[in-house]
Amino acid sequence: MGKKAGRGKKAVEKRKVKRGPKQKPPEDPVLRGIIVGIAGERGYEIAKEFMGDEITDEEVAKRLDIHVNLVRKVLYYLYDNRVASYRRARDEESGWYVYYWRIEPERALEYFYNNKRLLLQKLEERLEAERGTIFFGCGNGDQKLPFELAAENDFKCPRCGGNLEPYDNSGVVAALEHKVESLRQHLVGKHA
């Protein structure tokens, strides 16, 4: 609990000097990208306050002079994406529960790369399917059908009734190959 008093003091110092004496960790561009993707640029500005140190949502709202609900909204998005975590403690004076939040860079990156890996797996499966199947399309933008389904429908589009013709999917295959390759590059050396 002696820790708590120390934290309070630090917070006071930080309020006097706009940028506190405690150094923020250097900005990680990948982490930044993750957070901006979840919460936007403004959300990132809020999230930055929770980096390297645990702090309450109210304290950050005060520091940035914004409504605490906005801070909470950003925190919930980040929590949902495993980027933020909290610790609950009872305030001795008021008896209320106080939530101390922090950003979890390692967990965020792990979750992010796991999702990328899942995406890569799906794209690879889709690429295999595109390579191994002849698709048929009506040319009106409706969903393409593999040969079997097209035959079942007497080569008529189930949506618009148009004739189904063999569909040249080499463009799709090339686009998928490109995506798969760039994702693989992205994941080189990133272990779970």
Residue numbers 70-99 binding Zn ion by CB under 5 A: none
The residue among 79 and 147 lying less far from Zn ion, judged by its C-beta, is 147
159 belongs to the binding site for Zn ion (CB under 5 A): yes
**DSSP string for residues in the chain:** -HHHHHHHHHHHHHHHSSS-SSPPPPPPHHHHHHHHHHHHHHHHHHHHTTSSS-EEHHHHHHHHTS-HHHHHHHHHHHHHTTSEEEEEEE-TTT--EEEEEEE-HHHHHHHHHHHHHHHHHHHHHHHHHHHH--EEE-SSSPPPEEHHHHHHTTTB-TTT-PBPEEE--HHHHHHHHHHHHHHHHHHTT---
One of 74, 157, 164, 176 touching Zn ion (CB under 5 A): 157
Site size for Zn ion (CB under 5 A):
7
CB of 134 to Zn ion, least distance (A): 17
Minimum separation from the CB atom of position 160 to Zn ion (A): 3
Options 142, 153, 177, 183; binder of Zn ion; rule CB under 5 A:
142
Interacting residues with Zn ion (CB under 5 A): 138, 140, 142, 157, 159-160, 162
